[in-house]
Amino acid sequence: MQLLSAPPDHHVHDSVRGWLASYQQRKPEHCALLFERYRAWCERHQDKLWYMSQSAFYILVERAAKFADKNGRKLQIYFEQNGKKEDRDIIRYMRELKKSGNPFNKHSSGQYNPLNTDDYKRIIPGEPRRKTKKVPMIQIADLVLYPMAKAGYDQQYWPYKALRDNGKLIDCLLDEGELASCGIKYSCFDPPKET
C-alpha cells in the first residue's frame, strides 16, 4: 500500500524517512496518522524544509544548554556512533550553533529566549563526542527518548508515566514558566492532550 508518492526532492524524502524511522509502532493506522501529521507539518514549512534531525539537534542542545547554565554547569554532548556521515552532521550542527547561533526565524522563536553564539561557546566547551553501543549509558537515551516521543500522542503510555511520576523528565525539574523554552518540545505534533 502506498500512502503518498515519494516527494520529488530527495532532501524532503530523506527527512520523511528519518522522521518516521524514529517511531517503532507497527499498527497501520498509527503509521498513517504519523505520516499525516508529518505531511501537514511539511505543508506548513514548505519554504524551510530540512532534516528533522537537524531541527531536533538545535532544539535539544539549546534546551539542555539552558538547563545546564541555569544550574551553573557546562554541557558536554555525547552521541551514539551511527555512521560517518551522520556523525559528521552532528559535529557540523554544533559548529554551526557556535558560529552562527540558532538558525530559526528570529521573530517566531523569540518567545523561546534563544541562546546566542557566545552562550553556546561558554556553556558547551569542545565538540560532541562519539560513543559506541558498548557504552551502557549511551543506551539510556533510547530508553527515555521513545517514551517521551510517544507521549506526543499518548500520555498514558506506561513508561512515560513512570518517568514523569518519578520526576525523571526535564519537565519535572522546571518551573511552569520555563516549560515553553526549556521543556520537552513536540514540534511535529499538536500539543499533547492529557487523558
Q: Residue 189 domain-assigned?
A: no
Tell me the average pLDDT across 80-94: 90
Q: How many CB atoms lie within 10 A of CB 109?
A: 16
Q: Are residue 27 and residue 56 in the same domain, yes or no? A: no
According to the model, what pLDDT value does residue 118 have? 96
Q: Are residue 102 and residue 124 in the same domain, yes or no? A: yes
Q: How many CB atoms lie within 10 A of CB 62?
A: 25
Find the domain containing 35 and state its range.
10-48
Q: Residue 26 domain-assigned?
A: yes
More confident residue, 90 or 15: 90
Please give the tally of structural domains in the chain: 3
Outline where DSSP puts E strands in 36-85: 78-80
41 falls in which pLDDT band (50, 70, 90)?
low
Q: Are residue 74 and residue 140 in the same domain, yes or no? A: no
Q: Are residue 80 and residue 124 in the same domain, yes or no? A: yes
According to the model, what pLDDT value does residue 93 have? 92
Q: Is the confidence at residue 4, as pLDDT, over 50?
A: no
More confident residue, 59 or 137: 59
Q: Residue 193 domain-assigned?
A: no
Q: Which candidate, 125, 148, 13, places its Cα nearest to that of 74?
A: 125
- Give the length of the chain: 195
Q: Are residue 124 and residue 176 in the same domain, yes or no? A: no
According to the model, what pLDDT value does residue 49 have? 52
According to the model, what pLDDT value does residue 188 have? 53
Q: Are residue 127 and residue 144 in the same domain, yes or no? A: no
Q: Are residue 127 and residue 73 in the same domain, yes or no? A: yes
The residue type at 26:
R
Average of per-residue pLDDT values in the chain: 77
User: In angstroms, how far is the first alpha carbon of the chain from the final one?
Assistant: 32
175 falls in which pLDDT band (50, 70, 90)?
very high
Q: Residue 78 domain-assigned?
A: yes
Q: Residue 190 domain-assigned?
A: no
Q: Residue 188 domain-assigned?
A: no
Q: Are residue 128 and residue 142 in the same domain, yes or no? A: no
Strands 78-80 and 129-131, sheet pairing? parallel
According to the model, what pLDDT value does residue 18 have? 45
Q: Are residue 57 and residue 94 in the same domain, yes or no? A: yes
More confident residue, 167 or 31: 167
Q: Residue 1 domain-assigned?
A: no
Q: Residue 128 domain-assigned?
A: yes
According to the model, what pLDDT value does residue 53 have? 72
Per-residue pLDDT tens digits for 63-84 = 999 999 999 999 999 988 888 9
Assigned C-alpha cell, 5: 508518492
Q: What percent of the chain has pLDDT over 90?
A: 40
Q: Are residue 128 and residue 75 in the same domain, yes or no? A: yes
